[in-house]
C-alpha cells in the first residue's frame, strides 16, 4: 500500500482567463460540510489538520492575482458535493462519486478537471 492520497484532486481553470481572484470552493460529504475556501482570503486557507479541503496556495504569500489553475485536494471518504464560484463565471456544482477498486475494496483516487464558464448576461440578449 502506497502513501495516502486525497480521494479527489480537482483542478479549476477559467475558460480563456486566469482563475477569478475571489474564487470560492465549497464541499460537503457524509461526515461534514467543510469550511469554504476563498482564494482572496488567506484566513480560509486550511491545512489537512484543519479541514478536508486543502488547496495548493502559498500560505507565506498574499493571494495570487493571476492564477492559471487552482488545485485542491478533497480528503473525503465517499460521495462529495462540490460548488465553485467566481465573479464573471457561472457557478459550477457537481456531486463527485468515487470509483471502487474491486481488487482491494477501496476507493481509487481521482483527478477531476473543472472549467469555469463565463456567465452570460441574460438581460442583454447576448
**pLDDT score of 111 more than 60:** yes
Predicted TM-score (pTM) of this structure: 0.90
pLDDT value at position 41? 97
pLDDT for 9? 98
Tell me the three cell numbers of residue 57: 496556495
Residue 13, pLDDT above cutoff 90? yes
Q: What is the mean pLDDT of the chain?
A: 91
Is residue 28's pLDDT more than 80? yes
Quick check: 7 and 68 in contact, CB under 8 A? no
CA distances from 92 to 83, 84, 103 (A): 6, 5, 33
Q: Which residue has the cell 492520497?
A: 5
Q: How confident is the model at residue 1 (pLDDT cuts 50, 70, 90)?
A: very low
Tell me, what's the pLDDT at 125?
A: 47
Tens of pLDDT, residues 35-72: 999 999 999 999 999 999 999 999 999 999 899 999 99
All three cell numbers of 54:
486543502
113 C-beta neighbours (distance < 10 Å), count: 10
**29 or 102, higher pLDDT:** 29
Amino acid at each position: 500500500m502506497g502513501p495516502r492520497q486525497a480521494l479527489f484532486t480537482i483542478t479549476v481553470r477559467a475558460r480563456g482567463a486566469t482563475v477569478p481572484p475571489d474564487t470560492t470552493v465549497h464541499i460537503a460529504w457524509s461526515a461534514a460540510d467543510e469550511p469554504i475556501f476563498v482564494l482572496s482570503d488567506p484566513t480560509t486557507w486550511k491545512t489537512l489538520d484543519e479541514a478536508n479541503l486543502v488547496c495548493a496556495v502559498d500560505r507565506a504569500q498574499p493571494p495570487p492575482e493571476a492564477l492559471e489553475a487552482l488545485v485542491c485536494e478533497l480528503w473525503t471518504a465517499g460521495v462529495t458535493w462540490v460548488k465553485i464560484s467566481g465573479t464573471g463565471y457561472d457557478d459550477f456544482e457537481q456531486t463527485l462519486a468515487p470509483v471502487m477498486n474491486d481488487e482491494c475494496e477501496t476507493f481509487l483516487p481521482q483527478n477531476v478537471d473543472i472549467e469555469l464558464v463565463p456567465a452570460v448576461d441574460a438581460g442583454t440578449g447576448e
